[in-house]
Structure 1
Amino acid sequence: MNEPLILVVEDDPVQRKLIRENLEARGFPVIEAGSRKEALEAVLRNPVDVAVVDYRLADEETGVDVIRDMLAANPLVTPIMVTAYGNIERAVEAVRAGAYDYVVKPLDFEKFLLILDRAVERQKLKKEISFLQDRLDERFSARNFVFASPPMEEVARLILKAARSEATVLVSGETGTGKDIVARAIHQSSPRKKGPYVALNIPSLPATLIEAELFGAEKGAFTGAHERKIGKFEAAAGGTVFLDEIGDLVPEAQVKLLRFLQDREFYRLGSSQPLKADVRVIAATNQDLDALMKEGKFRADLFYRLNVIPIAVPPLRKRREDIPLLVDFFIKKYGEREGKKIQGITREALNALVAHAFPGNVRELENLIERAVVFVERDIIGISDVPLVLRETAEADTGPAGDSLLDKVRRLETQEIRQALRESGGVKSRAAKALGITERMLAYKMKTYGLTA
């Protein structure tokens, strides 16, 4: 397997040589650039995987400009920013421009290599996600793959794995996290993408009609059945059925769904003729199915049939790094719809959003930005344009004055890691699961923030 190609962008030849030699000593192929122009030429001519970019270059050029150039030329490049100690605002600027992470001078090469390894993994995933997005329509892919956080990287990885399989999938997560979007992504990137995608929101229907909706009904099967009804499984033949909020499925329908998953056979209501349907089943829930099973409200055998590929979509508060990207996306989306040229959002307003718990998750954030765009009368969204409750939360935040966005994210992340470790009794595997990140990522963050179990 070929090692990833690293581009080092640094105008100081001594520093550039030092970084190159350290990388080459560890087996990485390296190319160099001493200016913005050389960096762009290198990206255009070479299959660069990761770029290590110094913030300050000659002739008042900055690494942020370089990052924007290279991502415009090749969006699959994964940049890492190098900045002088204390210039965290520059790091935030770089992250907003598309940098994966940053390191400070003087370089701690052990820490730098950890970040580089993660960047390489991220770059591999970006290639896979690019392949996935090529299979999705423009609106769908843009809406759903706006993220920079490790928890959502894991969700994207699982989507890709699920798309290559015919196994049933169980998507779990709080309301507003985008479970339906995950389901559609799996369908749209699978061999079934040309077949129907049929969704059923179980709580939206009376319990007496669920079976007819799922399996269909013959004429006269129940009061009001004046003609034969085709169910979701028949309608989705060759495609995918998405069963939203599966935890609300009544016991009688649970039995029939289990039988279908086991035998791929079902009966319309009022008929004794068995029917088959070639469909892929994806279910979603915002409930704790383990608790429902213990209460006897959800069948354990059905759970195991559904939970072949589990995908847990993290709440927005567990992936605060995604908030700036989502905010930028929604500002652009609704700015275009309203015919407004909004330049962005102030740091104060963005800090208030990052500090908010978002019980309604991405759906709530989208609603907040939509309202702000509709009512703002300037070309930038400020703190007065976000709801009062968010402003009060931001004012109550005890962080140091002048905190950068990145400082705020780190402080909140540190608090959540400490809480997860306390609640897990110091067991890192359980804490990582509660946080929606890998154990390796938890260990890295604990080292970065100086935390112990």
Structure 2
Amino acid sequence: MKRILIIDDEAAICSSLAFALEDKYEVMTTTDPSVGVTWLEHDHYDLCLLDLKIGQIDGIDVLRQIKEVSPKTIVLMITAYGTIATSVRAVREGAYSYLTKPINIEELHSVIEQAFRYQHLNEQVDFLSQELEKKYSYEGIIGKSKAMKAVFHLIGKVREVDSNVLLTGESGTGKELVAKALHFSGKRKKAHFEVVNCAAIPDQLLESELFGYEKGAFTGAISSKKGKFEQANGGTIFLDEIGDMPLALQVKLLRVLQEKVVTRLGSNREIQLNVRVIAATNKNLDEAVRKGEFREDLYFRLNVIKVPLPALRERKEDIPYLIKHFIGQFNEEMGLNVKGLTKQAQRILLDYEYPGNIRELSNIIESSMVLADDEYIEATDLPNQVRKINHASNGENGLYKSFIGLPLKEIEKHFILATLEANKGHRKKTAHMLGISERSLRDKLKQYEHR
């Protein structure tokens, strides 16, 4: 059922309009525009009926606030005959249309139905846009920043060729996702995509994992087994954390890449390969080559095309899109109904530096969604280390310097009241954030009232 919010300073008009609409819609009313804006910020309403003049408050100003906190909500202005020119201005500011008093109920229903048809068309356009974005986002890689557009450009250039690719970047930047994009958007997409994490497999097992073995090749080899290169024949093998591969095995890998053949352990039979190799590392391989920790000839074989992935702190404009993606993903996976973040929580996440990159952001959103008591993630729901770093960085920017010379009680009062305001008057969350009991918070607030 569609939801409608009515904001009018006359309670009688609110009641009569609600009575006329409640058979078809879920209707809420308020005579206080600030309450209405707060409801729109924290809950979903499909349409808002807004009076153009609410006491001494200009409805245009309220309209602007609504469009800021809930841009998809349709707004219909209610106006007297003498203010039609102002109503036209309201339409230019984002209102869908306007109705003149006294309101004709049939006309009201007709305009609302038209508005919802308009909304449905917009939703279809948004859906098609999202589908197009999925098509060109390369298997779920999200980003509109300049840095990510450069990555998408490189993927588009090399996805159809067989040249080896080296993905570089810090841990958690999405190297495996890019490797999958290269495979599944290219000509080998119907063949196997095999993944080997060179850092996660013990050295003594990595060789057999890559190249396979024959029965009896070593103790415990009770049957023959294909290696990852064989399994990937015709497709792609992704060698993650290639910088951690031991030197002795690097020699054997180099031969496989040069000769395009593989020999299982315990066998002399060479198996012809047609495999595209994508490697990834979070290490500086140029430096590793200089130190003798990585073979230069293997490095040149792997580094035919380099795709550097930016750290999340270098593409912060992508964070809101990633947050939206993760919220949708975890809502579906965990059966939750989280709609977003409060402005304070989003500001903290935009300021954070993310040493763990996208993987860390995903973990932060998942844990915060589980802990959230409301439909919106509050700052208090975020992990402690994120909030602490944010507070520390604010201090370095001079926040605390402004309190130099003030009595401690005044500084305490400022932080308590500021925290209470950030939590929208929620005393339990405020006490938790400040590390004090609710009783202590209540006592301090009473002291402030008598100062």
Same fold (TM over 0.5): yes
Deviation at 1:340, TM superposition (A): 2.8
**Equivalent of 2:182 in 186, 198, 212:** 186
C-alpha contact 1:207 1:250 (8 A) present in aligned 2: yes
* Aligned-partner Cα distance in 1 for 2:280–2:308: 10
Q: CA distance change for structure 1 residues 231 and 338 in 2, over 3 Å: closer, same or farther?
A: closer
2:285 maps to 289
Paired amino acid for 2:344: E
Deviation at 1:339, TM superposition (A): 2.8
2:237 is paired with a residue of what secondary structure? strand
* Aligned-partner Cα distance in 2 for 1:377–1:74: 30
1:203 is paired with a residue of what secondary structure? coil
**TM-score of the superposed pair, with normalisation by structure 2:** 0.59
* Aligned-partner Cα distance in 2 for 1:390–1:353: 8
1:153 maps to 149
Does residue 247 (structure 1) correspond to residue 243 (structure 2)? The answer is yes
**Equivalent of 1:73 in 102, 121, 125:** 125
- What do residues 254-287 of structure 1 show as CA deviations (whole Å, max 9, x unaligned)? 1111112112112111222221111111011111
**Equivalent residues in 2 for 1:329-408, closer than 5 Å:** 329-396=325-392, 397=394
* Aligned-partner Cα distance in 2 for 1:319–1:71: 28
The structure that has the greater radius of gyration is: 2
Paired amino acid for 1:73: V
Q: CA distance change for structure 1 residues 394 and 219 in 2, over 3 Å: closer, same or farther?
A: same
* Aligned-partner Cα distance in 2 for 1:75–1:312: 31
Identity of aligned residues (%): 41
2:170 is paired with a residue of what secondary structure? coil
Q: CA distance change for structure 1 residues 311 and 325 in 2, over 3 Å: closer, same or farther?
A: same
* Aligned-partner Cα distance in 2 for 1:240–1:172: 18
Does residue 170 (structure 1) correspond to residue 222 (structure 2)? The answer is no
* Aligned-partner Cα distance in 2 for 1:64–1:330: 31
1:241 is paired with a residue of what secondary structure? strand
2:29 maps to none
2:217 maps to 221
1:166 is paired with a residue of what secondary structure? coil
Does residue 266 (structure 1) correspond to residue 318 (structure 2)? The answer is no
Cα RMSD (Å): 2.9
Q: CA distance change for structure 1 residues 64 and 58 in 2, over 3 Å: closer, same or farther?
A: closer
Paired amino acid for 1:260: V
2:225 is paired with a residue of what secondary structure? coil
**TM-score of the superposed pair, with normalisation by structure 1:** 0.59
* Aligned-partner Cα distance in 1 for 2:157–2:290: 30
C-alpha contact 1:351 1:394 (8 A) present in aligned 2: no
1:170 is paired with a residue of what secondary structure? strand
Deviation at 1:69, TM superposition (A): 7.3
2:221 is paired with a residue of what secondary structure? coil
- What do residues 361-405 of structure 1 show as CA deviations (whole Å, max 9, x unaligned)? 11111111111111111111111111223223333326699xxxx
Paired amino acid for 2:290: K
- What do residues 214-269 of structure 1 show as CA deviations (whole Å, max 9, x unaligned)? 11112222222222121111111111101110011111221111112112112111
* Aligned-partner Cα distance in 2 for 1:64–1:162: 47
Deviation at 1:302, TM superposition (A): 0.6
C-alpha contact 1:132 1:160 (8 A) present in aligned 2: no
Paired amino acid for 1:385: D
* Aligned-partner Cα distance in 2 for 1:202–1:63: 55
Q: CA distance change for structure 1 residues 257 and 343 in 2, over 3 Å: closer, same or farther?
A: same
Paired amino acid for 2:196: L
C-alpha contact 1:197 1:239 (8 A) present in aligned 2: yes
How many residue pairs were aligned?
290
Runs of 4+ aligned residues of structure 1 deviating over 3 Å after TM superposition are 56-72, 74-77, 129-133, 398-401
Does residue 210 (structure 1) correspond to residue 203 (structure 2)? The answer is no
Q: CA distance change for structure 1 residues 67 and 299 in 2, over 3 Å: closer, same or farther?
A: farther
Paired amino acid for 2:91: E
Deviation at 1:70, TM superposition (A): 6.6
C-alpha contact 1:247 1:289 (8 A) present in aligned 2: yes
Q: CA distance change for structure 1 residues 64 and 298 in 2, over 3 Å: closer, same or farther?
A: farther
**Equivalent of 2:304 in 280, 305, 308:** 308
Q: CA distance change for structure 1 residues 74 and 357 in 2, over 3 Å: closer, same or farther?
A: closer
Gaps of 5+ in 1: 1-55, 78-97, 99-125, 402-453
C-alpha contact 1:171 1:310 (8 A) present in aligned 2: yes
Paired amino acid for 1:206: P
